């Protein structure tokens, strides 16, 4: 009876009182998507340029 600081509480607080919630951040996903897309586009353009250079002869 009267457990103080039990782990079965509904409030999930971090070590510094920061709320820890598994929220999927849309901005992080967007940044990751655009970074991956940009890297893929650069790689593809480099490959196309190299292929065109080799085909021209």
The answer to whether position 6 is within a domain reads no
Number of separate domains in the chain? 1
Q: Does some domain include residue 16? A: yes
Residue 33 main-chain phi, psi, to 5 deg: -65, -45
In a domain, 47, yes or no: yes
Q: pLDDT in tens for each of the 57 residues of the chain? A: 655 655 555 555 556 777 777 777 889 999 999 999 999 999 999 999 988 887 766
Helix (H) or strand (E) holding 35: helix 26-55
In a domain? residue 54: yes
The single-letter DSSP state of residue 15 is T
SS3 label, residue 14: coil
* Residue 24 located in a structural domain: yes
Comparing CA positions, the residue from 2, 20, 4, 1 lying closest to residue 12 is 20
Q: Is residue 29 part of a domain?
A: yes
Domain holding 41, by residue range, is 11-57
pTM: 0.45
Q: Examine residue 3 and state whether it is found in any structural domain, yes or no.
A: no
Domain assignment of residue 43, yes or no: yes
């Amino acid at each position: 009876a009267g457990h103080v600081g039990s782990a079965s509480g509904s409030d999930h607080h971090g070590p510094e009182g920061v709320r820890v919630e598994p929220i999927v951040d849309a901005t992080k996903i967007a940044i990751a998507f655009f970074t991956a897309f940009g890297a893929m586009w650069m790689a593809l353009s480099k490959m196309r340029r190299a292929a065109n250079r080799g085909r021209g002869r």
